[in-house]
Amino acid sequence: MAAQMARLRVTRIGEVTQVEFVDRNILDESNIQQISEELTSVVDELPTPKLLIRFSNVEHLSSAALGAMITINNRVRGKDGLLKLSEIAPQIREVFTITKLDKIFEIHDDHEDALKSFS
Amino acid sequence: MNTTGSDRSSGEFSTVVELSFDRSEIEAVQSEVARELAERGFDESAAFAVRLAIEEALVNGFRHGNGGDLTKKVRFECRINSSSICIEVIDEGPGFNPDGVPDPTHESNLETPSGRGIMLMKAYMSEVEYLPPGNRVRMSYHRTPA
């Protein structure tokens, strides 16, 4: 099952809901707001979310985008769910390291490994 | 006031732009700076660093400095030569104390969604300085000698 939202592509793979970004640059405030709303609607539809967010096509993001990830992580955890991130480009991975957000997000280099880690 | 110029003899580029809180205006500035950096041989990591710092400084200026007031402008000044880029971003707000911003990497702040812009600018640029009263940030990036 795959669904195309305005800013996200959502695919169900077994128990895991996989999300990909339409945008290569996650910078614009209104886009980030829309991404937050779409992620929230995805999470709200799931009783116990198992969410994988793929960053494979993302080239730039801002601190506002990091904020959106933290907000959605808090929401997922509030439902006893799991949020994992995968395929983050090295330069963006460094942003997660500098901000120490790699301490609160489980990040996988490989998509298959990320999927397997939910089971 | 918007002025842009390149001095071919010195290889220096400079621009001064009054920006509105409009994505297309921010992107135009980002594209121009990226092009000028590429022409001077700055590598991808420099381009990434400068783009991120400009993004954070401008959005901070509009969102926090100008308080989201869309009638207010942010002034962007930039000089690029073969070895460095110097940027100033000035908003129309009253300023703030940058030392009063909580450390977003502290354990107790990790799950707070905001407050990472300044630390990212400091992490990616060579120098970042807020000038009193705090509505003007000056930052620079120096190319690492090969």
What are B59-80's pLDDT values in tens digits?
999 999 999 999 999 999 999 9
What's the gap in Å between the CA of A21 and the closest CA on chain B?
A: 19
Paired sense of beta strands A106-108 and A82-86, if any: parallel
Q: The domain spanning residue B57 has which CATH number?
A: 3.30.565.10
Domain encompassing residue B101 = 3-142
Closest approach of chain A CAs to the CA of B10, in angstroms? 32
Q: Under 8 Å CB-to-CB from B74, ≥6 apart: which residues?
A: B18, B19, B21, B58, B61, B62, B65, B66, B89, B90, B91, B92
CB atoms within 10 A of CB A37: 14
Q: Which whole number is the average pLDDT over A93-109?
A: 97
Least confident of A2-6, A52-56, B38-42, B97-101: A2-6
Q: Is the pLDDT of residue B1 over 70?
A: no
Q: What is the ipTM of this complex?
A: 0.91
Number of domains in chain B: 1
- CATH code for position A70: 3.30.750.24
Predicted confidence (pLDDT) at residue A119 exceeds the cutoff of 70: yes
Residues 6+ apart with CB under 8 A from A32: A26, A62, A64, A65, A68
What pLDDT score does B7 carry? 66
Residue count of chain A, please give it: 119
Number of domain units in chain A: 1
For A110, the domain range is 2-116
Q: Which of B116, B118, B119, B120 to probe by mutation at the A interface, max A CB count within 10 Å?
A: B116
Q: For A7-41, write each residue's pLDDT tens digit.
A: 999 999 999 999 999 999 999 888 999 999 999 99
Number of H helices and E strands in chain A, helices first, is 4, 8
